[in-house]
Amino acid sequence: MIICGKPNFYTGRGTFSLRVNEIRAVGIGELLARIERLRRLLEAEGLFDPRLKRPIPFLPNTIGLITGRASAAERDVTTVATTRWPAVRFAIRNTIVQGPNAVPQIVEALSALDADPDVEVIVLARGGGSVEDLLPFSDETLCRAIVACRTPVVSAIGHEPDTPLSDLVADVRAATPTDAAKRIVPDAAAEQALVADLHRRSARALRNWVHREQHHLQQLRSRPVLAQPLAAIDARVDEITRARATTQRDITRLIDRQADTVGHLSARLTALGPAATLARGYAVVQAVPPAGAPTVLRCVADAPEGTRLRVRVSDGVISAVSDGTEQRDDHEAY
């Protein structure tokens, strides 16, 4: 830290004072202050928002790994991951991980892995170090490149106390490279044990269900109605036979009564019909106009002299012509 000011020395009292007008951090203090300013800027832009975090696939086939060449971080990630799941594959990009040239190389490797369609998750891995050693992972360019990736990114930089800004913008923050491998790759032995346990539990549940259904079926079969299903029917045979005979007899009687009713009604209709009236010696006389349909005569005025007549009797029709009319005396009999 550099302090600028005006010194004063009082010889009489032997005291020294300094009126400070500027305090400037240098070295580690300056680096930490610069990182803090960048952290506040990125946080204000919402780049730490949990809603931006992309989920890690359950079992990635290919893991992209950015780390130093032949580093302990590379060995930790690959060894732990392949031990947990031997089939996992790696696409490794070795870069320098400290110094002024680290950021461009890391950003380039990040872009290449993000463009690889086989890579399902990317890990940034580096062992521990000083603030200066880990400075590239708090660089603004790298942080924004991590946010821009379409592929989920895991930041595994340093040890547990180390928290570079890449940890805050990445989708997952791992305490160490070993922790990153454990977070990304499931343990095959644990998964197999889980599957075996689920198999045992499902088999036990199925056996219990079959046992319950068998017991329920035995209870149903023990009921008399199912043990001797025809017994109830045999006990009702006579009753059903009597009911059937009674029903047939009642239906026959009903039909006979209705037939008699129909016969009586038919006879009444015949007696009251126009044919019966004609058979008793009556006739229906109609006036036949030159045009139009014949009309029944109701009075002598309907048949003046010369009117063509149509006389209907019981066995046919008689054509006639009116030669005049005669008014009937009210006391004259037919």
In the predicted structure, residue 213 carries a pLDDT above the cut 60: yes
Whole-Å CA distances, 170 to 110, 145, 327: 12, 10, 127
Domains of the chain: 1-44 (no CATH), 52-186 (3.40.50.261)
Whole-Å CA distances, 172 to 123, 214, 254, 303: 9, 52, 92, 119
What is the enclosing helix (H) or strand (E) of 22?
A: strand 15-24
**Joined tokens for residue 25:** 């951090």
For 289-316, the pLDDT digits (tens) are 888 788 888 888 888 888 888 888 888 8
For 12-66, the pLDDT digits (tens) are 777 888 788 766 555 556 777 788 888 899 888 989 899 989 999 988 999 999 9
- β partners of residue 308: 321
For 81-134, the pLDDT digits (tens) are 999 999 999 999 999 998 889 999 999 999 999 999 999 999 999 987 787 878
Angle (CA) 207-210-212 rounded to 5° is: 110
Report the mean per-residue pLDDT for the chain.
86
In the predicted structure, residue 235 carries a pLDDT above the cut 70: yes
**Joined tokens for residue 244:** 């059937």
**Which residue shows structure tokens 């506040």?**
40
**Which residue shows structure tokens 């990125």?**
42
Whole-Å CA distances, 277 to 115, 272, 285, 309: 111, 7, 13, 20
Distance of CA 182 to the CA centre of its chain: 34
| Model pLDDT, residue 93 | 95
In 48-107, where do the E strands start and end?
A: 62-67, 89-94
Angle (CA) 238-243-246 rounded to 5° is: 125
The greatest distance separating any two alpha carbons of the chain, rounded to the nearest whole angstrom, comes to 178
**In angstroms, rounded to a whole number, what is the distance separating the alpha carbons of residues 320 and 267?**
34
Mean per-residue pLDDT for 254-262? Answer: 93
Going by pLDDT thresholds of 50, 70 and 90, the confidence category of residue 333 is: low
**In angstroms, rounded to a whole number, what is the distance separating the alpha carbons of residues 111 and 36?**
26
For 140-186, the pLDDT digits (tens) are 999 999 999 999 999 999 876 768 889 999 999 998 999 999 999 98
Whole-model pTM: value is 0.53
Who contacts 24 (Cβ-Cβ below 8 Å, separation ≥6)?
1, 2, 3, 4, 30
| Model pLDDT, residue 28 | 59
DSSP single-letter state for residue 329: P
Between 241 and 131, where is the model more confident?
241
